[in-house]
Amino acid sequence: MTYLLGLDISTTGAKALLIDATGNVIASATTPLSLSTPRPLWSEQNPEDWWEGMQASIRQALTQTGIAAGDIAAIGMTGQMHGLVMLDAGGKVLRPAILWNDGRTSAQCDEIRARLGKERLIQITGNDALTGFTAPKILWVAENEPDVYAQARHILLPKDFIRFKLTGEYACDRAGGAGTLLFDLKTRTWSPEVLAALDIPAEWLPPTYEGPEITGRVSAAAAGSTGLAEGTPVVGGGGDQAAQAVGVGAVRPGIVALTLGTSGVVFAATQAPLVEPEGRLHAFCHAVPGRWHFMGVMLSAAGSLQWYRDTIAPGESFDTLTADAATAPPGSEGLLFLPYLSGERTPHPDPLARGAFVGLTLRHDRSHMTRSVLEGVAFGIKDSFTLIQNAGLGRIEQVRVSGGGAKSPLWRQIMADVLAAELVTINTTEGAAYGAALLAGVGAGLWPDVDAACESSIQITGSTQPGPDSEAYQQIYPHYQALYPALKGEFRAMAGL
Distance CA 365, CA 362 (A): 8
Q: What is the β-pairing status of strands 172-173 and 183-184?
A: unpaired
Distance CA 255, CA 246 (A): 11
What residue spans of 198-280 are helical by DSSP H? 220-226, 240-248
For residue 391, what is the DSSP state? I
For residue 84, what is the DSSP state? B
Distance CA 344, CA 281 (A): 12
Using DSSP, how many helices (H) and how many strands (E) does the chain show? 17, 24
Burial class (CB in 10 A: 0-12, 13-18, 19+), 445: exposed
What is the DSSP track for 321-365? HHHHHTTSPTTTTT-EEE--BTBB-SS--BTT---EEES--TT--
Secondary structure string (H, E, C) spanning 100-157: CCCCCCHHHHHHHHHHHCHHHHHHHHCCCCCCCCHHHHHHHHHHHCHHHHHHCCEEEC
Neighbours of 118 (CB within 10 A): 14
**Is 240 in the active site?**
yes
Q: Give me the catalytic one of 20, 160, 173, 240.
A: 240
Active site residues: 240
